[in-house]
Structures are given as structure tokens and as C-alpha cells.
Amino acid sequence: MGTLLKMELLNCINRKQFKIVFIGLFAINTYAFIYTCFIVKGMGLSGLRSGYEMSILLHPYSQAILMTIIFMLPMIANVIYSDSFITDIKSGTYIFITTRSSRTTYIISKGLAVIISTFVSFLIPLLFNIILSNITFPSINYETNGLPPYVIEYIPEELFNWLRIGNPFLFSMTSVTIIALFASMYALLGYSISLNLRKNSLIPIAIVMLAYLVIDIFVSLLPNGLKFQLTILPLPTSPASPTYFFSAIILIFILSISLILRYLLHSRNEL
């Protein structure tokens, strides 16, 4: 499996889609940093927050850019490598590999490659933005006039607000990991759908994105449903409960694994 996984990761890195998304996310995160710098240009020291809070994760202006990324998260994540199974079938690579290795090993290796490549594609650009912000802006939150952030800024409704106050570094690492994890789960879901619907690589992307938006609209109509929308769930300022938060990740993962198992169990005689 290790050899197949390495091959899949190298294949992903060489894909045009991966390069476009990775460079695009880097450019967006760099733009968010530059935009924040222009916003605070000429501002007194008392108006500056710490480097962690000036990043794309928390600064009000650049966070709007992050919200746009998260709104399009399923589509962006699925472009990277989720359609590679369909590409392999059309090119004949599928037959070539499965005559030399087990189909199960091939499917699992490709699924792991989808998760890893998507996770890294989102994680590294976000970390780059955080590093730039911490290099440029002060380490102390001067906007609170030297007082600890919890004196005036604690928001108990936000899921990880206690972590933001207690350990800003760990908060930032947790936040970017969560965003990258959600992206990976959406990509895995798209991949699992592509195993069962192999006619067009755009169909799995469309299904995941459409389901994402439909569920979001439905949830928003429920009492207090706005805080449970999928489009804000990965945000570091999400007001969702821990139970709902982790349930969403687990459900997406279980659905993806179920679809992968369905393919493995019902397609023994394909091709």
C-alpha cells in the first residue's frame, strides 16, 4: 500500500488541478494579509491586535475572505484529486494498476491520497498567513490597552473562544487543522461518490456542493439554525456546540466509508 500511496501522491502533485488550487489558496491568503495591512496602515498602536488576531482567522476584514473560502469549501476541495478515479478509468490506468495490485489496496490508497493532498492544500496556505501576521504585527494585543483579552473579549458562545484566550498559538493551529479537516472530509465524500457514479468527474463535485447548500438552507430555517449552518461550522468563531461540531465530521466520514464499502462489495466483476 505504501508504494501505491506514494504513487498517488506524486500523481496528485503533478496534476494541474492541484497546482491551481494550491497556488490559488496561497495567493488568497497572501492577499488577505496584504489587505489587512492596508486596512490598519497609519493606525495607532492602541488599535492593533496581536499577530494571531490579525490573521485571516480572526481579523474582521480578512475573515470575510476566509468565509468565502469556506462557503466554496466542498467545490474547491473536490477539484484537487477527488475525481482521479474517474480519470484513471478513462485513461486505462485503473486496469493497469489493478492487474498488479488488489483493487481494495488501490481504492484505499487513492482515498488516503485524497485526504492527505486536500488537507495539506488548505493547511499550508493558512499557516503561511498566520506566520506573516505574527512576523508583522505585535505579539501583544494593544487594542485591550494591555488588559488580558478575557476581560473584555470573552465570547462564551464561540466553540473555541476559551482556547483563543488561553493559548492563541494552539487556537490558531486548531483552527487551521479543523478547516483542513473539513476540506478533507468533503473531498473524501466526493471521491466516494465518484466510485459509484463514474460517468462524469463534475457530477460528484456538483452533488457534494448542492447537498452542502441544500442542508445549509434547511438548517437555517430551523429555530436558532443559523449557528448550525455548514458554511460557518469550520470557522474558528463558530457558535456550534461541540456535539454538533464533531457529529458533522463523523457523519461525513461514515457516509464516505459506507459509499466506498458499497463500491468494493458490489463491483467485484467490473471491468
Query: For the segment 153-183, what is each residue's pLDDT rounded down to a tens digit?
Result: 666 667 777 777 778 899 899 999 999 999 9
Q: Is residue 43 part of a domain?
A: yes
Residue range(s) defining the domain that contains residue 240: 2-266
Cα four-point dihedral sign 49, 130, 72, 189 = negative
pTM for this entry: 0.90
In a domain, 271, yes or no: no
pLDDT in tens, 224-252: 777 788 998 998 888 887 788 889 999 99
| Arithmetic mean of pLDDT over the chain | 87
The pLDDT, as a whole number, for residue 28 is 97
Q: What's the average model confidence in pLDDT over 12-36?
A: 96
**Of the candidates 125, 135, 247, which has an alpha carbon nearest to the alpha carbon of residue 176?**
125
Residue 188 is predicted with a pLDDT of 98
Residue pointed to by grid coordinates 473524501: 188
> Which pLDDT does position 143 carry in this prediction?
57
Q: Is residue 123 part of a domain?
A: yes
CA distance 140 to 203: 48
List alpha helices for 41-167, DSSP H: 60-71, 73-81, 84-91, 93-98, 103-136, 150-153, 161-166
Residues 88-133: tens digit of each pLDDT: 988 888 888 888 888 899 999 999 999 999 999 999 999 999 999 9
Residue 261 falls inside a structural domain: yes
Residue 226 lies in a domain: yes
pLDDT at position 197, please?
86
Give the model's confidence band at 144: pLDDT under 50 very low, under 70 low, under 90 confident, else very high: low
3-state secondary structure of 43: coil
Q: From residue 194, how far is each of 107, 177, 191, 259, 267 by CA, in Å?
A: 11, 25, 5, 9, 13
Q: Indicate the number of domains in the chain.
A: 1
